[in-house]
Amino acid sequence: MAMFRLQSSKVLAVDMTGDAVKAKNGSMVAYDGEMAFKKLSGGGEGIRGMVTRRLTGEQMTLMEVKGRGTCWFADRASEINLVGLQGDRLYVESSNLLATDGGLRTGTEFTGLRGASQGNGLFTTTVEGHGQAAIVSDGPAVVLRVSPQYPLTVDPGAYVAHQGNLRQSFQSGVTFRTLMGEGGGEAFQMRFEGDGLVYVQPSERNTIAGDV
C-alpha cells in the first residue's frame, strides 16, 4: 500500500513500491523513480459515476499514478489534511479531494437540497475502504467532533468533508454574509447529528448557499 506523508502542510508526498494512487488531475508537482500516469474517465467508478457526473456537472477529474518512487502532489497552495479510513466512508466536496489510495473506492451519492443550495449538483463525492485519503482546505482545516449530545451546524461554504455515523440535514438560517447585507435570499445551514467528525475550513468558498 502506498504511504502518504506530508512534506509540508501544503505538499503531499506519496511513497510507492509498485502501488497506485488516484489524484486530482494536474496536482502532481514532482516525482522520482519510475511513474506511469493515466487519466481516469470520471470522479466516480463505473457507469453510475459517469452518469451522475454528467447530470450534476461535478468537476472532479482524477488521474491514476502507478510506479516505484515518490510522487509529490499539491493544489494551489491549499492546506492538506490526511484522513485514515478503516472500512468506513468519507463524504467530501469534489473540489476538496486531492488523492486517495488506489484501493479506495470513489463514487457519488445523492445529497438532495445541499447540492441545489450550493449550485454544484445534487451529489457529493464518497471515498470508502481501507487506506488513506488526502483532502485540501483553504487554510488549516478544523476537525469538529459530533456526538449524540452535541449536534453541529455548519455553513455550507465552510464545509469540507465528514465521516462517521452522521445524519445530515438542512435548515434555513442566517449566515454572516446575510447579516452584512451580502446575501440575496434565504440562507441554508448544514446540520449533523450522530457520532462522527466534520472537517471545516476557516474561509468560505463562493457558493449561492444563501441565494436559494
Mean pLDDT of 20-36: 95
DSSP letter assigned to residue 43: S
Q: Are 92 and 136 in contact (CB under 8 A)?
A: no
pLDDT in tens, 142-176: 999 999 999 999 988 899 999 999 998 877 765 55
pLDDT in tens, 44-96: 554 444 444 444 445 567 899 999 999 999 999 999 999 999 999 999 998 89
User: How much is the pLDDT for 45?
Assistant: 52
Question: For residues 26 and 5, what is the distance between their CA atoms, to the nearest angstrom?
Answer: 19
Dihedral sign for Cα atoms in the order 171, 52, 61, 57: negative
| 199, pLDDT greater than 50 | yes
Distance between alpha carbon 113 and the CA centroid of its chain, in Å? 18
Question: For residues 127 and 132, what is the distance between their CA atoms, to the nearest angstrom?
Answer: 10
Looking at this protein, which amino acid is placed at residue 9?
S
Domains in the chain, start-ordered, CATH in brackets?
A: 3-200 (3.60.160.10)
State the pTM of this model: 0.81
**Mean of the per-residue pLDDT values for the chain?**
82
